[in-house]
Structure 1
């Protein structure tokens, strides 16, 4: 499904549905397609918002997890969202955590993490992306999933286009190094809002022990594993992911009735 991309000041974003706000933060190689099933489902219950994170468009000095967290803070302030539930996949989860820790925003009611960095991650696997090697990119994209067939030609093309641009690769490396440096182990105890962890049991990038560590360090958290699932559960097993998320959001009072 195609969504209208809206513009407010410098911010580009999708906004669908009504009610309390569910903000979705994508990862380093993320795209709108990562969240399509989630948007289609939850726009019936909530206002679903996806900011286009400027991962590869910021100047090199601000190309960092902290720089992206500042961007998210400014976006939510500019839009005036209240009753926000923040969901982040991979680097997006890390950005969401740093945003919470640096700003302590009153309007954020819960956080949902899936395959989040912030404690440990394998990145692209054994090395940084190689330019011009499409087969390498195919293999590393498939590494993200339990079912390698999820690495469609369209998805491989998206990642290949990014990694075949020298400046974009420099920024990818800058973000990856920033994520490694920005370890949140000592700070996570400060986040006391309800936290939902949805994790693939077969996640190669942020393995299950990472989810267990998040569960231990976030004082008000719950953890759900999904079997036969990799690093992006909302893409690979959307029905099960949405069911777990719906139950959590109902318990937070985020969903009162279905939007007509």
Structure 2
């Protein structure tokens, strides 16, 4: 999640470990990422009149700020092209030397960019 290994402390590891071992965590992960969940999603999409969220991004009507870490290994930078292309009036700000947790690893810069965006 973090680009800078110095930010990975024993306390952070313990916090993430406790969160991952929480009773609801396994159920949540299974519901999102398991083969069964994927099969259910495919079944739902085949039977539902509700399209998947990503196919409706073009309907977003408000200006949208996308923030991305250049060194994000969970959602690499090229993934930002999808919402950037599909959401009208979307802006992308890429933070250097930053992983997936932009609001943690580039906290001050992220807050500055967000405030500037909101003030416009």
Whether TM-score is above 0.5 comes out as: yes
Aligned residues: 107
TM-score normalised to structure 1 length: 0.38
Counterpart in the other structure of 2:65: 196
Report the 3-state secondary structure (helix = DSSP H, G, I; strand = E; otherwise coil) of the residue aligned with 1:229. Answer: coil
Counterpart in the other structure of 1:245: 114
Counterpart in the other structure of 1:170: 27
Match runs of 1:110-189 below 5 Å: 144-165=1-22, 168-177=25-34, 181=41, 184-189=53-58
Match runs of 1:92-107 below 5 Å: none
Structure 1 unaligned runs (5+)? 1-143, 252-260
**More RCO (CA 8 Å, sep 6+):** 2
Counterpart in the other structure of 2:89: 220
Distance 2:119 2:30 in 1: 39
- Deviation, 1:175, is 3.3
CA RMSD of aligned residues (A): 2.2
Q: Which has the higher helix share?
A: 2
Q: Which has the higher strand share?
A: 1
- Deviation, 1:168, is 3.0
- Describe the shift of the 1:159–1:183 C-alpha distance in structure 2 as closer, same or farther (beyond 3 A): farther
TM-score normalised to structure 2 length: 0.77
